[in-house]
Structure 1
Amino acid sequence: MTSFISHLTVDCSDAYSLSQWWKPVLGYEDVPGDPNLPGHEECMIVDPAGKGVSVLFVEVPEGKSVKNRLHLDLRPRTDLRDTEVERVIAHGATVQGDHRGKYGPGTGWVTFADPEGNEFCVLRSEAEAEVAAQSAPTEAADA
């Protein structure tokens, strides 16, 4: 028997604010019939299409102190990676590292932090990765 991922839990200091920040980044919404409100210590957001993993923000007393051992890798649904990078920067994400071109032209990712310092990366879109794979089959798959 195996297990599946029910949802991803993010420890934070303000569950409501962080859930509100992530909703437009992911295109997610509150659980239907269970809205997140200021003061809630747990706030879940879900993919309205039902295809993505739900994210639960849970308030904890301690702050983030070191690099995450687990982080989200985001792939743009429709836009190009560089367009998505600019969108999340405009939304308030902080660039932690720019690794675009790491494996050659058009490859790589950008590492960000959300308002509470949780790291996440923006990868190339599936279309960009597919074009690169056709032109350079030895290239890293996620880069």
Structure 2
Amino acid sequence: MSAMTAPYTLQVVIDCAHPHVLADWWAQALRWDVEPQDEDFIRSMIAQGLATEEDTTTHRGALVWRSGVAITHPAGSQATGGAPRILFQEVPEPKSVKNRVHLDLRAGEPVSDAELERLLELGAQGVGAGSQGPHHWVVLADPEGNEFCLPVPAAP
């Protein structure tokens, strides 16, 4: 077994039914960017027999890979201290139980009521709330039911 020379980086993968729709939602919610997909590259993979038309779909008028799409922080991972890339991957089965891993949105301080309302208006659903010591949060779910936490001020 050889020794690693560098630490791993991290990509978060979210299983979902509609990766492009959910990636658009999360990009808007986080104010991140959807990674562009190269239509010429996709067409060349089909022409070479390395992919098929069934491996693709059209989203917002562009040819894309059906199985997944990623979002990234607009400043890039180096500028953000290593913000991970988030990949949305198509799976056939629906979500059926609570997530064992979830995202914690970090804003540096509790978010305003207006920011919470913005996420709810985008389609997030309230799931619950929690606190530990001075820390308070709400638990929300994205349009496909994946939970995430948002720091909020303590209730008065």
Question: Considering the TM-score relative to the shorter chain, is it more than 0.5?
Answer: yes
Percent of residue pairs identical: 41
Residue 63 (1) aligns with residue 63 (2)? no
Which residue of structure 2 lines up, in the alignment, with residue 97 of structure 1? 128
In the aligned structure 1, how far is the partner of 2:74 from the partner of 2:121?
23
Matching residue within 2, 8, 15 for 1:11: 15
Which residue of structure 1 lines up, in the alignment, with residue 33 of structure 2? 29
Which residue of structure 1 lines up, in the alignment, with residue 45 of structure 2? none
- Give the structure-1-normalised TM-score: 0.72
The ranges of structure 1 where at least 4 consecutive aligned residues each deviate by more than 4 angstroms after the TM superposition are 32-37
Aligned 1:127-138 pairs, distance under 5 A: none
Secondary structure of 1:85 counterpart: helix
**Please, what is the CA RMSD of the aligned residues?**
2.8
The aligned amino acid for 2:33 is E
Give unpaired runs (5+ residues) of structure 2: 40-56
Which residue of structure 2 lines up, in the alignment, with residue 43 of structure 1? 69
Shift of 1:26: 1.0
In the aligned structure 2, how far is the partner of 1:19 from the partner of 1:45?
7
Larger deviation, residues 38-47 vs 49-58: 38-47
Give unpaired runs (5+ residues) of structure 1: 133-143
User: How many residues are aligned here?
Assistant: 123
In the aligned structure 2, how far is the partner of 1:108 from the partner of 1:78?
11
Shift of 1:31: 2.1
Larger deviation, residues 22-31 vs 7-16: 22-31
In the aligned structure 1, how far is the partner of 2:72 from the partner of 2:23?
10
Which residue of structure 2 lines up, in the alignment, with residue 116 of structure 1? 144
Secondary structure of 2:92 counterpart: coil
Measured at CA, do residues 37 and 120 of structure 1 come closer, stay the same or move farther in structure 2, by a change above 3 Å? Answer: farther
- Aligned residues of 1:85 and 1:110 also touching (Cα < 8 A): no
Shift of 1:117: 0.4
The aligned amino acid for 1:119 is E
Shift of 1:7: 1.1
Measured at CA, do residues 103 and 79 of structure 1 come closer, stay the same or move farther in structure 2, by a change above 3 Å? Answer: closer
